[in-house]
Amino acid sequence: KQEVTQIPAALSVPEGENLVLNCSFTDSAIYNLQWFRQDPGKGLTSLLLIQSSQREQTSGRLNASLDKSSGRSTLYIAASQPGDSATYLCAVVEAAGNKLTFGGGTRVLVKP
């Protein structure tokens, strides 16, 4: 059974610092990995999707890397802003099925 872990569960940084969020998964047979953002009281918004054949994806200040063989992905957010405060979740689509398995999320607070 696929298990997705995100450490740390919470992170607080001063504005301007770079954020590094970690995601690990136990079964490397994945189709893709997605990073989501969730604001309080809201649904999830997709940030980046990395195919299993890719090593990284970039969108603006966000960069996500994927090392499938070691079961790890990292989301980098450059020059953090207070508006980046949210919970960030990673999820993998398993090769054996169509569903996403989510990590527990990392709650981020960027202090002005």
Contact indicator for 2, 12 with CB cutoff of 8 Å: no
Q: Name 67's bridge partners.
A: 72
Distance CA 85, CA 38 (A): 9
80: buried, middle or exposed (CB in 10 Å: 19+, 13-18, 0-12)?
buried
> Under the criterion CB under 8 A, does residue 105 sit at the interface with another protein?
yes
Give the residue, chosen from 32, 63, 65, 74, that forms a contact with another protein under the rule CB under 8 A.
Answer: 32
Shortest distance, CB of residue 31 to another protein, whole angstroms?
Answer: 4
Shortest distance, CB of residue 10 to another protein, whole angstroms?
Answer: 13
Retrieve residue 96's tokens. 């054996």
Shortest distance, CB of residue 105 to another protein, whole angstroms?
Answer: 7
69's torsion region: left (phi>0), alpha (psi -120 to 50) or beta?
alpha
Shortest distance, CB of residue 32 to another protein, whole angstroms?
Answer: 5
> Under the criterion CB under 8 A, does residue 98 sit at the interface with another protein?
yes
> Under the criterion CB under 8 A, does residue 51 sit at the interface with another protein?
yes
Contacts to another protein by CB under 8 A: 31-32, 34, 36, 42-46, 49, 51-52, 89, 91, 93, 97-105
